[in-house]
C-alpha cells in the first residue's frame, strides 16, 4: 500500500474519531440538560411530598396534642347529645367524653340491657342525666316517628351518627343475603339521614349545633368484596358536607 493511501485512510479514521467524539460530546450536553430537568422534577416532587407530610404532621399535632390542652365547652351548643349505637366501641366512648364535658346523653340502640347499663355508668361516673331509646335502626323508616316523639322538648346540641354495620365476612355481592343488604342501607345510610332530619331543624333555628357522622376510609376507595358497605359509607361524607352548609 502506498504512502498516499495510508495517509488517506488515516485521515478517514481521524475524521471518524472526531465525529464520534463530537456525537459523544453532544450526547453529554443533552444528558446534562436532561439531568437538570430531572433534578428539577425530583426537587419539585420532593418538595410536594415534604409539604404534604408537614401538613399531616401539623394536623396530627392539632388533633391529638393541642386538642388535649384546650377544654371545649360543648354545652354551648345545647344541653343534650344524642349518640346512636352508643353502648359499645366508638359510640360509647363518644358518649363518655361528652358526658365528661357536662352534656346529658340520649342513647339509641336496640339492646335494652346494654342501654340501661351504659346509662347507669354515665350517670354514676359523670353525674349527668340520661335517656335511653330502644330502636332497631335496621328496621327502616317506620321507627323514626317514635324516635322523634321521644326527642321532643330536648335541646339537642350534638348528634353523633355512630351506628353502623358491615358484612360478617368479605363476600361477593351476589353471595350477600338480601336481608344483610337492606340492613346495611338502613343503618349506614337511612339512619344517618333520618336522625339528621329529626334534630337539624332545631339546630338551624338556634343557629348552633354539631353533627358528627362516622364514616370509613372505605368511602374514599373501592372495597372489593365489601361493595355495599363501601358505597353506604360514601353517603356519610355527602351528608356531612350538607350539614355543614346548613349550619353556617
Task: Tell me the catalytic residues.
Answer: 229
95 burial (CB, 10 Å; 0-12 / 13-18 / 19+) is buried
C-alpha cell at 115: 342501654
Q: Where are the alpha helices (DSSP H) in 144-190?
A: 144-151, 178-185
Q: How far is CA 225 from CA 170, 181, 222, 232, in A?
A: 5, 13, 10, 14
Going from the C-alpha of 54 to that of each of 17, 41, 44, 47, 61, the distances in angstroms are 54, 20, 15, 10, 10
Amino acid at each position: 500500500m502506498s504512502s498516499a493511501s495510508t495517509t488517506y485512510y488515516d485521515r478517514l479514521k481521524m475524521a471518524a474519531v472526531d465525529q464520534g467524539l463530537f456525537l459523544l460530546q453532544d450526547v453529554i450536553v443533552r444528558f446534562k440538560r436532561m439531568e437538570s430537568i430531572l433534578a428539577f422534577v425530583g426537587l419539585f416532587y420532593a418538595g410536594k411530598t415534604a409539604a404534604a407530610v408537614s401538613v399531616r404532621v401539623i394536623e396530627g399535632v392539632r388533633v391529638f396534642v393541642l386538642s388535649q390542652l384546650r377544654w371545649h365547652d360543648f354545652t354551648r351548643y345545647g344541653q343534650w347529645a344524642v349518640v346512636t349505637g352508643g353502648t359499645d366501641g366508638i359510640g360509647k366512648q363518644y358518649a363518655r367524653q361528652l358526658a365528661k364535658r357536662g352534656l346529658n346523653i340520649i342513647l339509641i340502640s336496640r339492646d335494652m340491657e346494654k342501654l340501661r347499663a351504659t346509662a347507669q355508668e354515665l350517670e354514676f361516673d359523670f353525674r349527668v342525666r340520661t335517656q335511653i331509646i330502644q330502636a332497631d335502626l335496621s328496621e327502616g323508616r317506620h321507627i323514626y316517628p317514635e324516635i322523634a316523639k321521644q326527642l321532643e322538648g330536648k335541646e339537642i346540641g350534638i348528634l353523633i351518627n355512630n351506628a353502623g354495620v358491615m358484612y360478617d365476612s368479605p363476600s361477593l355481592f351476589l353471595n350477600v343475603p338480601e336481608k344483610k343488604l337492606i340492613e346495611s342501607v338502613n343503618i349506614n345510610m337511612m339512619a344517618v339521614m333520618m336522625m339528621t332530619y329529626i334534630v337539624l331543624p332545631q339546630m338551624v333555628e338556634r343557629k348552633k349545633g354539631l353533627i358528627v357522622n362516622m364514616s370509613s376510609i372505605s368511602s374514599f376507595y373501592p372495597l372489593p368484596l365489601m361493595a355495599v358497605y363501601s358505597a353506604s359509607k360514601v353517603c356519610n361524607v355527602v351528608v356531612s358536607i350538607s350539614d355543614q352548609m346548613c349550619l353556617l
